[in-house]
Amino acid sequence: MSEARKTDLYELTMAMSYVREEMTAPATFSLFVRDLPAERGFLVAAGLEPALDYLAGYRIGPDDVDAFAAALGRPARDLVPLLGTAFDGEVRAVPEGTVVFANEPLIEVTAPLPVAQLVETYVLNLLSHQTAVASKAARCVLAGAGRPVMDFGMRRTHGLQAGYDAARVGALVGFGGTSNVEAAAALGLPAIGTMAHSYVEAFHTEEAAFHAFARAHPGGPVTFLVDTYDTDAGVRTAARVIKSRGLGGNSAVRLDSGDLGALAARARRILDAAGLTRVRIVASGGLDEYRVNRLVREGAPIDVYAVGTKVGVSADAPYLDSAYKLVAYDGRPVMKLSSAKITAPGSKQIFRGQGCSDVIALRHEQAPSGHRPLMRPVMHGGRRMSEAPPLREAHERFAADVAQLPPEARRITGPLAPRPVFSDRLKSLTDQVRNRIESEILAPPERV
């Protein structure tokens, strides 16, 4: 199916009307998050690179016109003016991995009005989903306090593409690997996996299962799932197999249920008593940043955390209050005045100061002293201005930004997010546009 059809119907109804009315001048739409979720002190911008790929390849073909006509219940000739439409506009954005806050544009799209409208659904979906998951994953990295965190979430994400995206943004914020074979191969990530309880159950004994698994992976690395029956007994069995096969530090045991802190402490004692001090302990099973944070603070001897479902679906904050709003059309700044959903007019820039003290300003303003611009041009004339950078670059950007965050924004529980301020020029423009709307649109008509 053509990517052009992956849109909401109202984008199409508006675009068709714009074309009929010859409203095809450049329009700028700004994508931002109105308010951060309750337990977020920051967001991590993600999804830009796949969005640019989508825009670069956007084109409405004959089959799309037929599909649009069928959806609208209109003859195909009414949609023919859209045939051949491609994205030929410009995009400015904050790079992936950038830490962002409420009301800050993640991306601004400028293109002929019908085109900029038609791409809304796809772009908003990509950035909203991947930013939500990246922000959840980033908090797991912070909670791990330097311990490796791995992605085990593919089986329960909301679709296989969502699983791939979760693996990608996990790597972006510093995950050490993924169980997702496709993502590992495509993105150059370490593929991580152990065994399931079904594997152990398929053998007559746990020890037979462990020996068979070790034979299948000579020399390791090998991780034994030890809680199928009795965890302590499973650790002892794993210890015997590890010693008999000389696996040593190239092996691990995985705990997947129960009181992970207490079980890890007992497992560590059993392994150490067997002289296996280099065998690692991996924990999984319903983990997220809250449980990881608690286990780390309690001093649980866990070496690796494998997070899955709750991170892959961003369970505690599964959506963002994101919006894609028109801020300028044909050189005229515009804004929305709806209660609780007011938008600021005009194309914008974000200037970042020390400690993530951000100023949201108009696009062509000069940076305040000690501040640097975050948004940069990434697409011109419908073409990317550079190849997609490696995930390593986005991760380095994320790490640098997180290091600048105030401590209260990095907290796992009860974080306080910095609040960007508007520049004086943006405030002034907002007042001017509001006054114009109130005088020209909202003022009662004069009586004749």
What's the pLDDT at 357? Answer: 96
The sheet carrying 421-422 orders its strands as 372-373, 348-353, 357-362, 421-422
Tell me the C-alpha distance between 118 and 204, whole Å: 59
Residue 100: which of 47, 140, 148 has the closest Cα? 47
**Three-state secondary structure along 343-370?**
CCCCCEEEEEEHHHEEEEEECCCCCCCC
Do 382 and 119 form a contact (C-beta atoms < 8 A)?
no
User: What's the chain's average pLDDT?
Assistant: 95
Instruction: Tell me the per-residue pLDDT of 376-401, one tens digit each, with 9 for 90 and over.
Output: 999 999 999 999 999 999 999 999 99
> Which helix (H) or strand (E) is 333 found in, with range?
strand 332-333
What's the pLDDT at 2? Answer: 82
Tell me the C-alpha distance between 72 and 9, whole Å: 8
Q: What is the mean pLDDT of residues 163-171?
A: 97
DSSP annotation of 404: H
Q: What angle do CA 327, 332, 334 make, to 5 degrees?
A: 35
DSSP bridge pairs for 391: none
Domains (ranges, CATH) in the chain?
21-58+87-133+320-440 (3.20.140.10), 194-283 (3.20.20.70)
Tell me the C-alpha distance between 331 and 345, whole Å: 11
Examine the pLDDT at 448 and tell me if it is beyond 90.
Answer: no
Instruction: Tell me the per-residue pLDDT of 14-59, one tens digit each, with 9 for 90 and over.
Output: 999 999 999 999 999 999 999 999 999 999 999 999 999 999 999 9
Tell me the C-alpha distance between 396 and 382, whole Å: 28
Examine the pLDDT at 446 and tell me if it is beyond 70.
Answer: no
Tell me the C-alpha distance between 26 and 83, whole Å: 19
